[in-house]
Every structure is written in structure tokens, then in C-alpha cells.
Amino acid sequence: MNAIRNDLSGGRGSIGSSAAIAVTCLVLYFVYLGYNLGYFYTTGAAVYDAGWFAWLMQNGDHWPLANPAVIGGNFFAAHVSPIFLLIGLLSKLAPSLPGALWFCAIFSLWLPLLALSIFRLLGSGFTGNLLLRIGGALLLTLSGLSLSMFAFPHIESFIEPLLLLTLALLCGAGRLRLWLAVLCFAAMLSIREDAGLHAFLVLAALSLLSWRKSRHVPVRLAAFAAGGAAYSAAAFAVQATLIPQGGQALDQIYLGALPFAHLTWSLLWTRAAFWALDRFYIFVPLGLLLFAACKDRDFALLLGFAIAVPWLALSFIAIWPFAGDLWGYYCFPLTLPCLWPMLLLGFGFAGNERARWLRLQFAMAASSSAAFVLLGLLPGMGNGTLHDRAPWRYLAPPSIAKIRCTQAALAELRQDKVFPNAIVDDGVGSLLLGSLAPGQYENFLRFTPAERARATAFIRFTRPPENLETRTAAIGQIFPACTALTGTPIEICRK
């Protein structure tokens, strides 16, 4: 037991262990960084929300957190995300760095952070076997849920890694670890107004297990759980009362303007069928967890499934299709339920169940990854419903020369007399968001006839995303004379 405690607190095998996980995290970071750079400079990023977030990360250094002119309003009306204020201030340390590069450098951290937190929590399962621990951390990091968030950069991806890192720090003793846990927890709360509620569910479940085991709840767990709930309550109150048009996300995405009026048996049946056929990578691990809990009458495992139920229920009735389909980052609150056996190990609840829970955890992760690849990526196996069905094409980062040429071409475009009267696609819009006026960009290229008639040029990526090929082609018929900008993925099309 002493060896396990020392491992969890970072006292065992310090140099070799730290070096191994540092190298692993660096590899993950640079692979993901290259992919994200390709998203902006090869395939073309979506304005909603990668381009929007990239702009906020470089321009969100003052209150209120105003959106770019082409979007308008205050970002806090959509989400209370003070993290943008901090990152905006930090961006002043590198004022000449393009916003897309700054965004990619920051955003690509969430994947290695997830690996680091899992590695720390796996200490009790792989005491004395560093290679297995690294391999286990990679398998759990690259589950189907993480892979589904891989291709569509979104700030919510940080919530679960920061919460897991907080929990990993709380597993050990020491004042430094406590302060680091507080910092991680504060950063996690600053990402979105409901982050504290997600944390509360997990911390409350762990507190309940502790009480059931020893009739004692650690003060740290109780304090962090209460802090998360209190923060979210305060953030919701501020958003609803002090921010113009704030607090509408719940109705717009989940409940509907007239709550539940959109619900029909047809919608619920269609959604259930979609989850069963296209979200195998989520429900296979959750199903294994529920099956193991019922088979062994294991209350601790059942509690892990229970914390997934509120988010599943809310998503199931959502009016917004992406939320209802658990598309991309919308599945982020289910990450911790899918890592529940590992959390139980990290907090010392395993006892004689350690080997069984480890096998269950790796079965959950492996089945999730396999389901994602087979039913989401491989042709002929499933219909995908993923943002990127061939991520391997973009793992190699764009060249520095390509990035420089693109940024230079964009700088010239801003000065060109054709630009104020041009319309743009997502890829260009994400790189020029702060320079666009209302009417120059529309989500899903839904330009009005007046906007199309007024425009003298259409500036776009030469290879449009698959989901926008038809719309791009339709607009291209109005602007048939295209000239590629040398060394860039961009072309200017004129009437």
C-alpha cells in the first residue's frame, strides 16, 4: 500500500517516469498541433467555432468579451468563458503571431493534458511497470470519445482533462499538490458556465463512495464539489441577469423556446436509432460499465454509469441536432464515466477488485476506439457522421512556407480594393474574421440574394469541405473566373 501511495503522489521512479510521460505528451502535442495547423491552412477551418475562438484568444483581452463585427454581440451571452480573457492577455506576449497559430498552439494542449492526467491516475494499477502504464495511458487517451473531438477544435475539450488532472492531484497529499489542484480546477471552471455542474456530479459520486466505505468524506472532495456547484450557479445567474440576451443556450440547444414542444415519438425513435448505429464508440464502453455493474452487483461501478445519465437525458431531448446526435465535442461530459474504473483505482476504492476493474477499463477504451474506427472511418462499415472521416490525410503539418505565403496573401487582401466588396467561405473567414464586415460571411454559406448580387468576388479555399461542396459549387457559378493565390490554398473568384 505504501508503494501505491508513493506512486500516486509522484514519489516513485521520478526521473524515468517523468521523462517518459513528458516525451509521450510532447509527441501527442506536436502530432495534434500539426493536424490543427492543417485544419486552418490546408482544409479550411470552420468559422463556427474554431475561427471564432481563434479570434477571441487573440482579442479577448478586455471586458466585455465582444465578438468580431461579423458576428456581433457579447460572447458571454453564448457562454461564460473567462478563459478567453486570460488567453487574450497572454497573447500580447507574442503580438505578431497570427491568431490561427496562437489558437493551435494553445488548443493542442488538451490531448497531452488528458494523457498526463490518465498517466497519474494509473499509478496504482501499474506500479513498477512504466511501459504498460504509458501504453495504458495512450489507449485510454485515444478512446473513441477523444477521437470524435479530435477533428473539430472546441474549447470544451479542455474541461475533462483539467478535471481529471485536478482529481489526480487530489489523490496525493501535500500543500503544493492542493494549490495545483485549485489552479487546474479554476481553469476548468473558466471554460464554460456549466463546467462546475459536470465536476459536481463526479466529485459528489466519489464523496458518496468514500462515505459508504468509511463513513467519512474527505474535506477536499466536498469543498471542490461545493465550489463547482456554487460557481456554475453564479455564472448562470450573471449570464441571465447582467448579459444582454444571455442565458438562452439552454432553450436554443436543448429545451426549445417553448420547452419540449419539439418532442415527438418520431424524433425520439430516430435519435435512439442514430445513437445505436452511429454512436457505438460512446455506448459500447458505457454498456460494458453497466453490464459489469449489474453482473457483479457493484455499486461503485453503477455510480459511474449514473453520472452519465443526466447528460444523456438532456442530449436525447435536445432540439439542436448536433447536440442531440452527441456530435463531436458534445460528448465531452461522457469522458469521465467512460474512465470511471480508472478513477476508482486512483482514489483507492479498488481493494480486491483492482485487476477486474483494470480489465474492464481497458476493454471499455479498446472497444470504444475500435467502434470509432470501424463504424466511423472505414469505408463501407458505417456512414460516419464525423467531421473528418480521413484524418490520416492531414496528420502531416503544412509547411512553414505555406503558412507564411498564406499570411502574406491575407495581409495583401486586406489592402486590396476588392476585399470590402467580397464574400468569403469558412476557411478564409476563419483567418480574416476580425477584418470582415456583416454580410461578408454567412454560416453554411447561406448568403442572401442581395449579398450575392452586391459582392464583386468570392474568396475561398480551393478545396471546399465535403459538407459544403454543393453550396460552394452553387456560389461558384456566380463567380466563375478564379485565380489561385500562389503558395496558398486560397483563390479569388470573380463574376
3-state secondary structure of 359: helix
At 1, is the pLDDT very low, low, confident or very high (cuts 50, 70, 90)?
very low
At 305, is the pLDDT very low, low, confident or very high (cuts 50, 70, 90)?
very high
Q: What is the structure's pLDDT at 381?
A: 61
Q: Of the ranges 126-140, 223-237, 264-278, 470-484, which one carries the lowest mean pLDDT score?
A: 126-140
3-state secondary structure of 383: coil
Side-chain half-sphere exposure of 403, counting CA atoms within 13 A:
17
Q: Which three cell numbers stand for residue 323?
A: 447536440
Residue 163 identity = L
At 2, is the pLDDT very low, low, confident or very high (cuts 50, 70, 90)?
very low
User: Does 11 have pLDDT greater than 90?
Assistant: no
Neighbours of 351 (CB within 10 A): 10
3-state helix, strand, coil in the chain (%, to 5): 70, 5, 30
User: Does 158 have pLDDT greater than 60?
Assistant: yes
pLDDT tens-digit readout, 391-441: 877 788 999 999 999 999 999 999 998 899 999 999 999 999 999 999 999
CB-based burial of residue 118 (10 Å sphere; 0-12 exposed, 13-18 middle, 19+ buried)? buried
Q: What is the structure's pLDDT at 414?
A: 92
The more confidently predicted of residues 45 and 386 is 45
Percent of the chain's residues with pLDDT above 90: 77
Q: Please tell me the pTM assigned to this model.
A: 0.93
Average pLDDT over all residues of the chain: 91
pLDDT, average across residues 368-380 = 84
Q: What is the structure's pLDDT at 13?
A: 55
**Dihedral sign, CA of 468, 472, 475, 477?**
negative
User: Does 15 have pLDDT greater than 90?
Assistant: no
Q: What is the structure's pLDDT at 375?
A: 83
pLDDT tens-digit readout, 255-281: 998 999 999 999 999 999 999 989 999
Buried b (16+ CB within 10 A) or exposed e, 190-219: bbbbbbbbbbbbbbbbbbbbbeeeeeebee
Helices assigned H by DSSP within 374-466: 400-415, 426-431, 449-454
The more confidently predicted of residues 442 and 18 is 442
At 17, is the pLDDT very low, low, confident or very high (cuts 50, 70, 90)?
confident
Q: What is the structure's pLDDT at 377?
A: 79
Tell me the CA distances in angstroms from 214 to 25, 207, 209, 210, one per residue in order: 36, 11, 9, 6
The secondary structure of residue 494, as a DSSP letter, is E
At 469, is the pLDDT very low, low, confident or very high (cuts 50, 70, 90)?
confident
User: Does 382 have pLDDT greater than 90?
Assistant: no
User: Does 380 have pLDDT greater than 80?
Assistant: no
At 61, is the pLDDT very low, low, confident or very high (cuts 50, 70, 90)?
confident
The β-bridge partners of 457 are: 422, 494
pLDDT tens-digit readout, 309-360: 999 999 999 999 999 999 999 999 999 999 999 999 999 898 888 889 999 9
pLDDT, average across residues 43-48 = 93
Q: What is the structure's pLDDT at 126?
A: 63
Q: What is the structure's pLDDT at 401?
A: 96
| Angle between the N-to-C axes of helices 110-121 and 130-141, in degrees from 0 to 180, rounded to the nearest 10 | 130
List the beta strands (DSSP E) in 108-173. none
pLDDT tens-digit readout, 161-189: 999 999 999 988 789 999 999 999 999 99
User: Does 69 have pLDDT greater than 60?
Assistant: yes
Contacts of 351-360 with C-beta under 8 Å, sequence gap 24+, read 353/298, 354/124, 354/125, 356/296, 357/301, 358/125, 360/288, 360/289, 360/292, 360/301
